[in-house]
Amino acid sequence: MDKPTVVRLPQTCPPGAIKVAALVLTDNPQASEIEYAIHVEDEGAGTEGRRRRVSASKMAWRRVSPREANRIELALDQPLQRPGTLYLATRVPKGGWDWFADAKVLRLQVQLGS
């Protein structure tokens, strides 16, 4: 059950972004624990209009219990030079179940820096 569900949000992160954070919640008390991850890809030259696949192994996963809001963060190695694509992902950890897995993103923040 470790196959992730991924949402891809092109050009969500502006140039200069140094950190991305999301407040996430599994909004059902009957749900299993769910793992959440966040990833950003710099839209390099020549990639416009092309869909990229991001490996789940490139993401830092955080396990979240039901009805418990958690903040997941990603600090970028360097500020984005171009708009970045944001990936938000969920997956059910081994031994879990996907019934009632009402995953929500309550807040999304992008921090700019130099």
pLDDT along the chain (114 residues), means of 10: 84 95 95 94 63 62 94 94 94 88 93 88
Output the pTM of the full model.
Answer: 0.84
Domain count, the chain: 1
pLDDT, position 48:
53
Give residue 12's domain range.
5-112
**CATH number for 57:** 2.60.120
DSSP per-residue letters across the chain? --PPEEEEEEEEEPTTEEEEEEEEEE--TTPPPEEEEEEEEE--TT-TT------GGGS--EEE-TT--EEEEEE-SS--SS-EEEEEEEEPPTT---TT--EEEEEEEEEE--
